[in-house]
Amino acid sequence: MKSNVKKTIRRGTLTFEWIAITTLLVIGVISALGALRTALNHTAEVIPENVCNLSSELDVH
């Protein structure tokens, strides 16, 4: 009977660990996707400005 209780406790502990690891992983992935979206938006805003500046510099020379 004691071994059944120990197995149940161990299973509960492993289940909690998997839930905790999965939750942290999901939070990390969502944060990374948010940072990636922000970086891509910033890059998408800067590239046309740089192209226009390059174009105007080439016209001057």
pLDDT at 3: 65
Identify the helix (H) or strand (E) that includes residue 58.
Answer: helix 2-60
Instruction: Annotate 2-52 with DSSP letters as a single string.
Output: HHHHHHHHHHHHHHHHHHHHHHHHHHHHHHHHHHHHHHHHHHHHHHHHHHH
What end-to-end distance do the CA atoms of the chain give, in Å? 89
pLDDT at 54: 82
What are the residue ranges spanned by the domains of the chain?
24-61
Q: Is the pLDDT of residue 60 over 70?
A: no
What confidence tens digit (pLDDT) does each residue in 1-57 have? 566 666 666 777 888 999 999 999 999 999 999 999 999 999 988 888 888 888 776
Residues making up the chain, counted from first to last: 61
pLDDT at 28: 98
pLDDT at 59: 67
